[in-house]
Amino acid sequence: MATQEERRAATRSAVIEAATALFGTNGFDDTKMDDIVARAGVAKGGIYHHFKNKHEIFEAVFEAVAAEIAAEMRQEIAPGQPPLDVLKQSATGFFRLCAEPLRRRIFLQDGPAVLGHDTWHRIDAHHFGGLVTSALGEAMEAGAIRPQPLKSLSRVMLGGIQAAALDCAAQDDFDAAAKDYLSVFAGILDGLK
């Protein structure tokens, strides 16, 4: 028999899973709480036990999508690669994963508008900032790039990737726009040598 804690976790998981599908397909504005209730198969009170409102559900969905993208990116990095190659591969993976329609809608289109830029940036930096900072730090230690203030460089690089991804999501052809940005990103990294 499931414990109360296990039932709570299952309800929360069902809500996030249902809301992810709905937000990714319909968008934040066109998803109603009743839609989430019906799809999750839980009582409305069960949802309100975990989340105050639709905005809180969206933030939890956004966090889950960001964590999922970051985990997939990390899995794709082969051990022992040069740090600059890790950065290039990670950026390529980030754009590829964000191009998927559900993720693009949640992460790049609705995310900044619903959460506000500060919250969106904070969550994004939490999941991806560490990867950028560690790869740049390793590149400096290995002599692959010249020494400079790591925190500042990491923020500039992450900010550039974020801005590029947001622009790609606004374009008719995400992949073509991403290809151009990835080429520029590679050139910037090569220029740090």
- Type of residue found at 156: V
pLDDT in tens, 3-51: 888 888 889 999 999 999 999 999 999 999 999 999 999 989 889 889 9
State the pTM of this model: 0.91
Residue 148's φ and ψ, nearest 5 degrees, are -165, 170
What does the alpha-carbon distance between residue 100 and residue 140 come to, in Å, rounded to a whole number?
Answer: 33
For residue 78, name the pLDDT band (cuts at 50, 70, 90): confident
Go through the domains of the chain in sequence order and give each one's CATH number: 55-191 (1.10.357.10)
pLDDT in tens, 114-144: 999 899 989 988 898 888 898 899 999 999 9
CB proximity list for 129: less than 8 A, separation 6 or greater: 154, 155, 158
CA nearest to 182, candidates 165, 73, 154, 21: 165
Q: What is the mean pLDDT of the chain?
A: 93
pLDDT confidence of residue 182 = 96
CB proximity list for 91: less than 8 A, separation 6 or greater: 161, 182, 185
